[in-house]
Amino acid sequence: MHAFYAPKATHNPLRWVLPVTAQLCVGPPERQFLFGGVGLAASVSAMEQSTGRPLIWATAQYLSYANPDSILDIDVRTPVAGNNVTQARVVGHVGEREVVTVNAALGQRDEHHSRQFAVMPSVPRPEDCDRIEHAHRDPEGLHGHFEHRGIPRATGEDEGRSRQWIRCRNGSAMSAGLLAIIADYVPAGIRTALAQPAGANSLDNTLRIIRTHPSEWVLCDTQIFAIAAGFVHGRMHLFAENGDLLATASQSGILRVFEQ
């Protein structure tokens, strides 16, 4: 099944293209733009296919916006390719305007001393949690691809902590790209931290992949560390339903507090 965020190949094995459609965008109808996590996901997909190696980590810097009906060109560079690891870089641009840059490492080694130290918190199952509806409930937009189930914060728990279950409605296979999109929901934790409608425009996202085995639902354990000087900083642990840690992410953004 072709992933909805996957870029298209060209005659150049290091050049990929992503048509920016409304279903990859967020925001109000008059100001839609490509969801940052989709830009990272498409870049990761391009690097994995260009190198033939799975993602280890990637960090994206979001520079500008890509609007519906534009074409995001994704240029892959591989400055270093070793026996086990390839160091890669992507520049995603619309014409001459850079939209996203991504640095990454890709590769795989034999398993040695494999252990998991992060523990999935004890939370209710998705079917026992309430749905979360987005402010811009566009079924044709990016949010329409995902179902969100909120988990109430326990009494006495850190105010910056929030958790939710997320699953992809169209059954896309688990992948580094899919985790890149889910990880870009770190700003969703701001609403819980401030107890009022709020979010952020993402400046970056760093994704570290542990494993990508199948899981219908992903538990997003989000911690907003601090809000200062108009910016917000946080991280997310992404767990499979069986408790396996799939990935971690960290992000900074421009704080947005909405009128109620």
CATH code of 226's domain: 2.40.160.210
pLDDT given for residue 259 in this prediction: 73
pLDDT given for residue 183 in this prediction: 98
pLDDT given for residue 58 in this prediction: 98
- Residue 194 within a domain: yes
pLDDT given for residue 120 in this prediction: 97
Which residues are 60's β-sheet partners? 102, 205
The answer, yes or no, to whether residue 112 has pLDDT greater than 90, is no
Lowest mean pLDDT among 56-70, 159-173, 242-256: 159-173
Q: Please state whether the predicted TM-score (pTM) of the whole model is above 0.85.
A: yes
> Could you tell me the pLDDT band of residue 2, with boundaries at 50, 70 and 90?
confident
pLDDT given for residue 258 in this prediction: 86
Tell me which amino acid residue 90 is.
V
The answer, yes or no, to whether residue 18 has pLDDT greater than 60, is yes
220-248, pLDDT tens digit by residue?
999 999 999 999 999 999 999 999 999 99
The total of structural domains in the chain comes to: 2
pLDDT given for residue 139 in this prediction: 67
70-104, pLDDT tens digit by residue?
999 999 999 999 999 999 999 999 999 999 999 99
Q: Which domain does 39 fall in, by range?
A: 8-107
Share of the chain above pLDDT 70, in %: 97
Higher pLDDT, 113 or 67: 67
Higher pLDDT, 30 or 57: 57
Which residues are 30's β-sheet partners? none
- Residue 141 within a domain: yes
pLDDT given for residue 170 in this prediction: 84
pLDDT given for residue 220 in this prediction: 98
Is residue 141 domain-shared with residue 231, that is, in the same domain? yes
DSSP string across 188-250? HHHHHHHTSSEEEEE-EEEEEES-----SSEEEEEEEEEEETTEEEEEEEEEETTS-EEEEEE
Tell me which amino acid residue 79 is.
P
Is residue 78 domain-shared with residue 145, that is, in the same domain? no
- Residue 204 within a domain: yes
Q: How are beta strands 198-202 and 245-257 bridged, if at all?
A: antiparallel
158-171, pLDDT tens digit by residue?
889 999 999 999 88
Last residue of a domain, one of 48, 80, 107: 107
